[in-house]
Amino acid sequence: MSVQFEDVKIAHERIKDYIHRTPVLTSKTLNTIANAELFFKCENFQKAGAFKFRGATNAVFSLSNEEAQAGVVTHSSGNHAGALALAAKQRGCPAYLVMPVNATKVKKEAVLGYGGKIIECGTTMSSREEVVQQVIADTNAALIHPYNDERIIAGQGTATLELVEEIDDLDAVLAPVSGGGLLSGTAIAAKGLKKDILVYGCEPKNADDAYQSMQSGKLQSIDNPQTIADGLRASLGDKTFAIIKEFVDGIYLVTEEEIITAMKYLWERMKIVVEPSGSVGLAALLRSKPELYGKRVGIILSGGNVDLGNSPF
């Protein structure tokens, strides 16, 4: 059974006392550049620095007491790991985080700061999954997959639930797509509240598995793609792809250069720190999108966890 709009509403009730209700910001300068009226949902201000805390909190607080005692385990290049560690801390249960060796220092430090236990793995998806299975065998911890999980999808959808409830008459919502947890939740929430709203995924050209999957109608994956958007290296899962295929109107591809330019606008003009992965929604609008001209467009700024020592500027 797939995720329904009702599940997003239940998730919001479950997590609303643990998460930040993040602000929606606007910028006249960026409206002019995009030729549209933009509403930025600032999940970079979310606890643990990204929307991932929503799904993680929903998953952790969905566990029975017995399950929670054994703890939770996941694999993640960073934001889901930090989010799950903090969510587990709030429930008082152990968290085991399988992270690739190339995860950024700031993301690892965040996990440790939240009391999570890091287990390193290689950079491929198969290496991640092997190590996770080992942890489960050792601890009996509950696997909280970073995206291919109904509880995660419903939790991530709550950002758009807040956005579409708060901003009247949105015509479209743009969200980054990686494993698809955010994009599938976004689509369910947006279309549950407003039937004719358009939903677009935004994805680096260098990691275009969602675009390829939508084009071919079959789930495609890319192993270890190279992009500055380190949070967008994963490929869709079967659960997220099924939802995206049904509810998402298209995938916008963005170049590495467009990602950096969009980040620069967000930092220099809006004075907010957004990570490369979080900037792809604005990046998509740097190339002409006539279908959105003059429209009211929501953009999910998905996270703000950056290593300043490793900035592209």
Question: Could you list the residues that contact a second copy (CB under 8 A)?
Answer: 23, 44-45, 49, 106, 264, 267-268, 271-274, 304, 306, 308-309, 311, 313
Distance CA 295, CA 21 (A): 25
**Residues with catalytic roles:** 52, 77
- Is the CB of 253 or the CB of 263 nearer to a second copy? 263
Q: Which amino acid is at 126?
A: S
Closest by CA to 153, choosing from 6, 7, 27, is 7
- Going across the sheet that includes 95-100, the strands are 117-121, 95-100, 72-75, 142-143
In the numeric block, which tokens belong to residue 269? 């003009």
Distant-in-sequence, close-in-space partners of 134: CB < 8 Å, separation ≥ 6: none
Distance spanning both ends of the chain, measured CA to CA: 45
Distant-in-sequence, close-in-space partners of 169: CB < 8 Å, separation ≥ 6: 296
Closest by CA to 203, choosing from 233, 244, 224, 173, is 233
Q: Which amino acid is at 14?
A: R
Q: What is the DSSP letter of 141?
A: P
- Residue 37 belongs to what H/E stretch? strand 37-42
Distant-in-sequence, close-in-space partners of 94: CB < 8 Å, separation ≥ 6: 70, 71, 72, 88, 117, 139, 141
- Is the CB of 4 or the CB of 26 nearer to a second copy? 26
Question: What does the radius of gyration of the chain's CA atoms come to, in whole angstroms?
Answer: 18
Distance CA 223, CA 193 (A): 35
Distances (CA, A) of 310 to 23, 76, 103, 105, 197: 27, 20, 12, 10, 37
